[in-house]
Amino acid sequence: MSAQAQVIAFPTHRRRPERLLTLTELRDTYGRSERWWRYRIAEGLPVVRWGGTLRFRASEVEAWMGERYAS
């Protein structure tokens, strides 16, 4: 009984996890008030709840905003 070994290439580049933004950073980055963002959260804006605080992935926020408010 002979078995052939399969070689699996080790990934030379790894994708770094996306940095999570706080509500303050989101407000400063996109230029809207905290109140405006809280309304968007109530409408279903993707949010990560991290130890009682809200965090956001910029890519998810941009995709959600593009779907919802694209002209």
Could you tell me if 56 and 26 are in contact, meaning their C-beta atoms sit under 8 angstroms apart? yes
Is 2 inside a domain boundary?
no
Is 58 inside a domain boundary?
yes
Q: How far is it, in rounded angstroms, from Cα 22 to Cα 54?
A: 6
Is 10 inside a domain boundary?
no
Instruction: Count structural domains, the chain.
Output: 1
Is 5 inside a domain boundary?
no
Read off the pTM.
0.71
Is 13 inside a domain boundary?
no
23-30 and 58-69 helices, crossing angle to 10°: 50
Instruction: Tell me the per-residue pLDDT of 13-33, one tens digit each, with 9 for 90 and over.
Output: 777 788 899 999 999 998 899
Task: Domain of residue 54: give its range.
Answer: 20-69
Per-chain mean pLDDT for the chain: 87
